[in-house]
């Protein structure tokens, strides 16, 4: 008998009005490169840790571990700002909006990593670069589209969007032809003060 698995990740979910504001500010980027796989506003999030396909029985243990981590942290007020691309706009694979550098967010991420490690999930080997993914590049667009995208990003990067990190959310991702569908399975609230 095959065990049921779920595709999981840990995330920070911006408030709906923040998601809508970021999505609206990214409209010139979407216009410059409509062939990219753009993510709609309700699915915008910051991934703290991608866990991949996991047996369903791990959900309760993950939720409990994140509750412990969250109780050690106070809500963090930061900002989403500056559009960019990984690795860069000339060879873009991912288009994103970044976040202000905040040591409290780095500490939260570090503790999430350590808690997940104690449950048997491997530590992430790359440095933490907090961002919200806006689009993925499936097929390389024409150079002109990438240049227009970079210009649009520079112009749109003047705006900043306040974001209060209030929880660590355990999310399920269900892959579909139109893009992944996300469901919040558990919320671990940070302290208010």
- Tell me if residue 65 falls in helix, strand or coil: helix
pLDDT at 1: 41
How many residues make up the chain in this entry? 193
Q: Look at residues 43, 27, 181, 168 and name the one whose alpha carbon lies nearest to residue 110.
A: 168
* Full set of structural domains in the chain with CATH: 5-189 (3.90.1140.10)
**Does the pLDDT of residue 178 top 80, yes or no?**
no
* Helix or strand (DSSP H, E) at 154: helix 143-156
Q: What is the pLDDT of residues 150-159, one digit of tens each?
A: 999 999 878 8
**Does the pLDDT of residue 2 top 70, yes or no?**
no
**What phi and psi, each to the nearest 5 degrees, are found at residue 95?**
-105, 135
Cα angle at 174 between 20 and 1, to 5 degrees? 165
Q: What is the pLDDT of residues 44-84, one digit of tens each?
A: 999 999 999 999 999 999 999 999 999 999 999 999 999 99
Lowest mean pLDDT among 2-6, 55-59, 187-191: 2-6
Higher pLDDT, 4 or 6: 6
Calculate mean pLDDT across residues 2-26.
93
**Does the pLDDT of residue 143 top 80, yes or no?**
yes
**Does the pLDDT of residue 171 top 60, yes or no?**
yes
**Does the pLDDT of residue 187 top 80, yes or no?**
yes
Q: What is the pLDDT of residues 86-135, one digit of tens each?
A: 999 999 999 999 999 999 999 999 999 999 999 999 999 889 999 999 99
pLDDT at 56: 92
Phi-psi sector, 180: left (phi>0), alpha (psi -120 to 50), beta: beta
Average pLDDT of the residues of the chain = 94
Query: What pTM does this model have?
Result: 0.93
pLDDT at 3: 59
- Tell me if residue 16 falls in helix, strand or coil: helix
> What is the separation of C-alpha 62 from the centre of its chain, rounded to a whole number of angstroms?
18
């Amino acid at each position: 008998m095959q065990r049921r698995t779920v595709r999981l990740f840990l995330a920070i979910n911006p408030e709906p009005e923040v998601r809508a504001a970021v999505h609206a500010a990214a409209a010139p980027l979407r216009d410059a490169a409509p062939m990219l796989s753009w993510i709609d506003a309700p699915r915008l999030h910051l991934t703290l840790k991608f866990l991949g396909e996991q047996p369903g029985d791990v959900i309760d243990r993950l939720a409990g571990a994140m509750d412990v981590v969250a109780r050690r942290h106070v809500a963090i007020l930061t900002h989403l700002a500056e559009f960019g691309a990984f690795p860069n706009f000339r060879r873009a694979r991912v288009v994103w909006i970044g976040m202000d550098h905040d040591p409290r967010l780095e500490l939260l991420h570090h503790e999430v990593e350590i808690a997940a490690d104690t449950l048997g999930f491997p530590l992430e080997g790359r440095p933490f670069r907090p961002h919200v993914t806006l689009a993925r590049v499936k097929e390389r667009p024409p150079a002109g589209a990438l240049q227009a995208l970079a210009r649009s990003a520079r112009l749109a990067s003047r705006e900043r969007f306040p974001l209060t990190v209030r929880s660590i959310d355990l999310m399920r991702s269900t892959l579909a032809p139109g893009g992944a569908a996300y469901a919040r399975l558990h919320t671990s609230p940070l302290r208010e003060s």
